[in-house]
Amino acid sequence: MEKVYDFTVKDRGGNDVSLSDYTGKVLLIVNTATGCGFTPHYEPLEEMYREFKNKGFEILDFPCNQFANQAPGDADEIHQFCTLKFGTEFPQFQKTDVNGENANPLFAFLATQKPFEGFGKGLKNAALNKFASANNKKYGDKAYIKWNFTKFLVDREGNVIARFEPTLDMKDVKKAVEAAL
């Protein structure tokens, strides 16, 4: 069975990074955007990173522009925005597609391990579901990720153990990370 550690991704500079470099760590893999209503998630993500990085925790940030063009700019511009506005220190990788024919294989794998189960209840979530459905129609059965700031939790053995949609309270994400550590 495939594990997260079997994948190679590109860092911000375009260099290959084997995720086996993270063997034995708890990972939170996130597709992000700098111009999204969920962009403030960078703040609690960075807080979690600073609190848990010495306990074997890493956040892997993959900017993605497939959702209403909310991640414009090149890798350096995105990185500068995140570090200046939110003080992010966790690893940021090359901007990538998470859906469609050119989807990063890592995200196709993550989404098949933990498929989308909905954004939750409430008017805001229903509105996002409608908007996301319209946006993702063009990807058909390859619409793996429904919106920015979808998070996947990976245990120390490289198994995907949870998926968190951007509408989930970040306190719940933190509790799951603590439990995995």
Say which of 27, 36, 64, 153 is annotated catalytic.
36
Mapped to the 3 state alphabet, what secondary structure does the chain carry? CCCHHHCEEEECCCCEEEHHHHCCCEEEEEEECCCCCCHHHHHHHHHHHHHHHHHCEEEEEEECCCCCCCCCCCHHHHHHHHHHHHCCCCCEECCCCCCCCCCCHHHHHHHHHCCCCCCCCCHHHHHHHHHHHHHHHHHHHHCCCCCCCCEEEECCCCCEEEEECCCCCHHHHHHHHHHHC
Known active-site residue 64: no
Q: Which residues are marked as active site?
A: 36
